[in-house]
Structure 1
Amino acid sequence: MTTRVLIAGSAVLACLVGCGGPGLKPVDLESAPQADDQLQLTENKDVDILFVIDNSGSMGAEQANLAANFGAFIQVLEANDVEANYRIGITTTDNGNPWCSPGATTPEAGNLVLSSCRTRMGDFIFNDGEEDVSDLACNDICTLDAAALEIQPTATDFDANPKPRPWLERIEGFTNIPAGTSTYDAFRCFGPQGINGCGFESPLESMYLALTRAQTADEDSYGFMRANALLAVVFVTDEADCSYNKAWATIFEQDGNREFWADPADMFPSSAVCWNAGVDCVGDPGSYDACETVNKDVLGNVTADPDAAVLHPLSRYFGQLDQIEQDKQQLNASAEVIVALIGGVQPDGSLLYADVGDSDPEFQHDFGIGPGCTGPMGEAAVPPARLRDFTNEYTPDNLHSICATDYTGALEAIADQIRSKIIPACYFKCAADTDPDTELVNAICEVEQTVPGLGVRDVPECLRDEQGAYAVDPASGSYVMPSGDDEVCFAARTDIGGQSEDGLDDIAEYCTDLGANLEFQLAYAAGVVPPAGAYSAGSCVVSNDPAQDCPSLD
């Protein structure tokens, strides 16, 4: 392993520790980092994020809210102590239904959607033009033209040939959108999905199909999920999940079994079918003690047979995510799946289950339960049951109110869940400072990377400029490879609180809070996909007096 000297202008380690050049005092140190001081680096900053967005007739203001405040989500992912390599895919809750005739809606059925809302203006008109949110949910938010949104070709783990993909991504500072376009601004155009989707929303089944398609070779979204990446699923809906088993589509049909209809004498079913077919409540209807998810057969009886359940059991979706999580843990033992819901919960995160009966008979008839929350303009959302249980299985209490006037808090909280899984590579051995007269810790470190199937390789330090600051790639704003042949380099961050003007050497607060004085950061060259299953180890010359140099380090 080759020693890397982390002081600009110092090329020879022997002179660094033994010569008394200007501004550099000799320091009594080990001659090189030691093997027993190695630290395995947290290299996985990859996260694949799937947004499942309700595109039914009541979602205009909610989609506008999501798009307008999406910057809060992106700011967390791109923060100095996160710098996530993210992909963002978008699908809708529309999987079709016997009452959503072909042509009236265009079921995405888990296909990823990546097109400007300005090219889909018809999607923002509902009920023969009675509801038109073209300006509210698109024109007033999306300000970019087609050229600014043109998706750039990229490669995947499964396809080395670059081509446009149906998702947004930012990997090692490089995006698949044109220079000058931010992910935030792009999402303001790509995120709104319109309001003409099927009113029998199936967010769980949409997720299931989207993740299945992402693992199917002939699908456009194949390769969206990376083997070593975190997976986050975010549901945005104001109604109950209606992911039904198509073998039991008769529960919606006029000549079928009307067991779950709000009124069997109705001409057509309401969304109450979705609530009645999957939830049982106990206690006073004015304020139920509990509303629990259940599996019911076509006659309305609770069943233990998953094939007899008219709505797909949650076990179908648990099984899918559990398998994905287990596969990821083969590469990273700490890998997890994150799930979040922006839905019909109270602004304080509490849940309200109550019939409204005669006080609002139309809502009761349409949805089978009273509102879980009500927004500032009177817009009401159905309280979650199936989505509540699904979310809590993976990320307890990651439930946020769709009735909030501003989704900034919800989006920050969801992004913070991702942040918590992307831990900076703090060096907990207390790196030695070779020049105590300068504010920054000047350390001597080295890094090696083990790549499955390729073995171990030395990782060089990222390029520094003549002033000693890390060079900045103008295309990505990130680090520069020391040579054109390098695919990966490392930086040693030691700047606490902006001591230098070089933002690329700022150590994460996470590390300093734990007493560390150095953080390793890996960077990859443009177009290089970080190798799945790779792991790296870094070591530095350590301080002879850690109690003095790193007093807060355990």
Structure 2
Amino acid sequence: MSRFTLGNRFALLAAAAMVTTSLTGCLNHPLKPVELEKAQTKDSQLQLTVNKDVDILFVIDNSGSMGEEQANLAANFGAFIGVLEDEEVEANYRIGVTTTDNGNPWCPPGQTTPEGGNLVLSPCTGRLNDFLFGTDVDVQALACTDICTLSDAELEIQDSITAVDPDPKPHPWLENIEGQKNIPEGTSTTEAFQCFGPQGVNGCGFESQLESMYLALVRAVSNGEDNYGFLRDAAILAIVQVTDEADCSYNKDWSSIFDEAGSKVFWSDPESPFPTSAVCWNAGVECTGDPSSFDECHSANYDENGNVGASDDNAVLHPVTRYTGLVQDLETNKQALNPDQEVIVALIGGVDNDGEAFYGEVGLTDPGFQESFGIGPGCTAPNPFEDPMIEGDELVEAVPPVRLKEFTDHFSPGNLFSVCNPDYAPALEAVANAIRDQIQPACYTQCAKDVDESTDILDAECTVEENAPGAATVSLEECLRDDNGYVIDPGTNDYTMPSDDVNVCFATLVDIGGQTPDPNDDMSMECLDLNYNLEFSIARRPGFPAAGGTSISATCSLSEFATLDCPDIGVGG
């Protein structure tokens, strides 16, 4: 149950109206008349922003070496969902998946199926051929059938509604909005992701992780696209990249870098009839220091002739700033609604367990890896899914992700996890916890007045109003109470609406330590730790989400003796 959040796209903002005796309709029990001085009213107008909406984009490498990694991701996905669905979080989440396949001259349509940023949502059991790579790699069981055990009926995507696309229809993402999922009852999101998440291993080997992400986000705001509506204006945005190779998001104006009739300046072997993924490293990264163990490596702009320092337009790989710029614009727009909101970016890639990558050439010790990728592995570990039938399958190795690391660090410094780790649960849990940390409780940050000192708990006097874009301000009613406290709806495990014609209500949380037998008026530890004496929670009837940009305002009577009633308020200790 949501006890400290304000629901879908809400900001608990300052109300302009003065609290007077007209507040008697605010709570279920009668309020005593209180007269507020102007200064006191001004102080009671607070701006608290709370948001449970989360849009999560997974960009999953679907090239030939990713069978074990996709199995690892699916097997440990419960650690991610467990945080989001915890009763103290209950995020309104959407989860979209795209692949790293954005096409390439060496990956023509028909050979691979480039998603180009389109969200994909189909059970892996219906596309088992995607889990075959050449004649040597078969991960159908490892990455799909051993993990996905549900039938098509148990995975049928239900109709859902977006704010920008109000017609009910199935959308290509998983969602859980106010407890309402778009998968059949009885199917958990974890089980569904274990079927929908694995993308196979027959995707293009020149991975365009950043460009695929870019196109997925652009499609999400482009009317007519299947992705349209995935991004919500006020939702927390999280982007998770899962890959074992370097980013190869090339500018298609300069596809000649892959041409066998071209200059081949970025090829490991100019005499070879085909390029390797070394092109991706050589065309986008510059390193300094001893090649056996470089001091550092960073992204760089190269022109088609191999000259470093090219302009953005002449860079053969799109500059990293193309991607930071897009996502920064999204973050800026979100911060206009919630100044504290930050885009969360995470990478499960070629770094060690401390988030550091090794940069060094290994031409003498491992010439095959060097020729294939242009650099030595950024991380190496024993393969927990080793297949004795596949030569060389005893190790998991990954390319250091220079461009991806820079993109990640721009938004979430150090949010890097090793794709070589045999257990992704800690990484997924850490990403989910970063999301949880942005879903903050609605603490009332002034000292609310106790208007009935005859009881052991605070009896607050407040007005709570909702303001949706283009609509009149509406006063909210308190959620249903009985003699035992707040009534919980067993169907939603949330507060009960006070009547059938009410779709949103509020609860005041005032219990600071078991003062009442009702567990549903308990304050959160976050508010208690800062010595606040009041907190709000907003409940919504399933099927009635708030429109984008909706705000909730609360104004309360304030204590005349705040230093005595609320010592160290906002300070903690």
1:461 and 1:72 map into 2 onto residues whose CA distance is: 35
Is residue 173 from structure 1 mapped to residue 190 from structure 2 by the alignment? no
Alignment-mate amino acid for residue 160 of structure 2? T
Is residue 371 from structure 1 mapped to residue 377 from structure 2 by the alignment? yes
1:23 maps to none
Given that residues 239 and 382 in structure 1 are in contact (C-alpha distance below 8 angstroms), is that contact kept between their aligned partners in structure 2? yes
1:445 and 1:359 map into 2 onto residues whose CA distance is: 71
Structure 1: gaps spanning 5 or more residues: 18-28
1:183 and 1:4 map into 2 onto residues whose CA distance is: 43
Is residue 73 from structure 1 mapped to residue 80 from structure 2 by the alignment? yes
Given that residues 4 and 446 in structure 1 are in contact (C-alpha distance below 8 angstroms), is that contact kept between their aligned partners in structure 2? no
1:112 and 1:58 map into 2 onto residues whose CA distance is: 22
Is residue 332 from structure 1 mapped to residue 350 from structure 2 by the alignment? no
* The one of 471, 483, 494 aligned to 2:488: 471
2:512 and 2:190 map into 1 onto residues whose CA distance is: 28
Given that residues 50 and 88 in structure 1 are in contact (C-alpha distance below 8 angstroms), is that contact kept between their aligned partners in structure 2? yes
- Render the CA deviation track for 1:356-394: whole Å, top value 9, x for unaligned: 111111011101111111122211010111111111111
Is residue 98 from structure 1 mapped to residue 105 from structure 2 by the alignment? yes
| Change in CA separation of 1:375 and 1:30 when aligned onto 2, cut-off 3 Å | farther
* RMSD between aligned residues: 2.6
Task: Give how far 1:544 is off.
Answer: 6.0
Given that residues 470 and 502 in structure 1 are in contact (C-alpha distance below 8 angstroms), is that contact kept between their aligned partners in structure 2? no
Alignment-mate amino acid for residue 481 of structure 2? R
Alignment-mate amino acid for residue 488 of structure 1? V
* The one of 301, 304, 308 aligned to 1:302: 308
2:196 and 2:565 map into 1 onto residues whose CA distance is: 49
Is residue 276 from structure 1 mapped to residue 276 from structure 2 by the alignment? no
1:148 and 1:188 map into 2 onto residues whose CA distance is: 13
* The one of 248, 252, 257 aligned to 1:246: 252
Task: Give how far 1:435 is off.
Answer: 7.2
Is residue 229 from structure 1 mapped to residue 235 from structure 2 by the alignment? yes
Given that residues 432 and 443 in structure 1 are in contact (C-alpha distance below 8 angstroms), is that contact kept between their aligned partners in structure 2? yes
| Change in CA separation of 1:498 and 1:191 when aligned onto 2, cut-off 3 Å | farther
* The one of 255, 261, 264 aligned to 1:255: 261
* The one of 486, 498, 514 aligned to 2:502: 486
| Change in CA separation of 1:434 and 1:179 when aligned onto 2, cut-off 3 Å | farther
* Larger CA deviation: 220-229 vs 540-549: 540-549
SS at 1:123's partner residue?
A: helix
Given that residues 26 and 464 in structure 2 are in contact (C-alpha distance below 8 angstroms), is that contact kept between their aligned partners in structure 1? no
SS at 2:58's partner residue?
A: strand
Task: Give how far 1:305 is off.
Answer: 2.0
Alignment-mate amino acid for residue 314 of structure 1? V
2:141 and 2:566 map into 1 onto residues whose CA distance is: 56
2:222 maps to 216
1:319 maps to 325
Given that residues 473 and 479 in structure 1 are in contact (C-alpha distance below 8 angstroms), is that contact kept between their aligned partners in structure 2? no
- Render the CA deviation track for 1:440-468: whole Å, top value 9, x for unaligned: 65544331122222132112222235532
Task: Give how far 1:517 is off.
Answer: 3.1
2:138 maps to 132
Structure 2: gaps spanning 5 or more residues: 1-16, 384-394
1:25 maps to none
Task: Give how far 1:315 is off.
Answer: 2.1
Given that residues 6 and 443 in structure 1 are in contact (C-alpha distance below 8 angstroms), is that contact kept between their aligned partners in structure 2? no
1:392 maps to 409
2:155 and 2:451 map into 1 onto residues whose CA distance is: 48
SS at 2:495's partner residue?
A: coil
Given that residues 153 and 162 in structure 1 are in contact (C-alpha distance below 8 angstroms), is that contact kept between their aligned partners in structure 2? yes
Q: Give the TM-score normalised by structure 1.
A: 0.90
2:69 maps to 62
Alignment-mate amino acid for residue 530 of structure 1? A
Given that residues 484 and 517 in structure 2 are in contact (C-alpha distance below 8 angstroms), is that contact kept between their aligned partners in structure 1? no
SS at 2:95's partner residue?
A: strand
2:199 maps to 193
Within 5 A, what are the aligned runs for 1:312-461?
Answer: 312-377=318-383, 378-432=395-449, 441=458, 443-461=460-478
Is residue 537 from structure 1 mapped to residue 553 from structure 2 by the alignment? yes
- Render the CA deviation track for 1:224-245: whole Å, top value 9, x for unaligned: 1111212211111110000111
Given that residues 486 and 495 in structure 2 are in contact (C-alpha distance below 8 angstroms), is that contact kept between their aligned partners in structure 1? no
SS at 2:74's partner residue?
A: helix
Alignment-mate amino acid for residue 3 of structure 1? L
* The one of 490, 499, 510 aligned to 2:526: 510
SS at 2:125's partner residue?
A: helix
1:13 maps to 31
SS at 2:147's partner residue?
A: coil
1:360 and 1:478 map into 2 onto residues whose CA distance is: 58
2:193 and 2:534 map into 1 onto residues whose CA distance is: 35
1:180 and 1:465 map into 2 onto residues whose CA distance is: 31
| Change in CA separation of 1:372 and 1:153 when aligned onto 2, cut-off 3 Å | same
SS at 1:321's partner residue?
A: helix
Alignment-mate amino acid for residue 62 of structure 1? E
Task: Give how far 1:164 is off.
Answer: 0.9
2:94 maps to 87
Task: Give how far 1:327 is off.
Answer: 2.7
1:523 maps to 539
Task: Give how far 1:408 is off.
Answer: 1.8
1:462 maps to 479
| Change in CA separation of 1:202 and 1:533 when aligned onto 2, cut-off 3 Å | same
SS at 1:307's partner residue?
A: coil
Aligned residues: 537
Q: Give the TM-score normalised by structure 2.
A: 0.87
* Larger CA deviation: 249-258 vs 483-492: 483-492
1:20 maps to none
Given that residues 278 and 296 in structure 1 are in contact (C-alpha distance below 8 angstroms), is that contact kept between their aligned partners in structure 2? yes
| Change in CA separation of 1:539 and 1:71 when aligned onto 2, cut-off 3 Å | farther
Task: Give how far 1:405 is off.
Answer: 1.8
Task: Give how far 1:107 is off.
Answer: 0.9
Given that residues 81 and 424 in structure 1 are in contact (C-alpha distance below 8 angstroms), is that contact kept between their aligned partners in structure 2? no
| Change in CA separation of 1:504 and 1:209 when aligned onto 2, cut-off 3 Å | farther
* Larger CA deviation: 164-173 vs 532-541: 532-541
Task: Give how far 1:11 is off.
Answer: 3.4
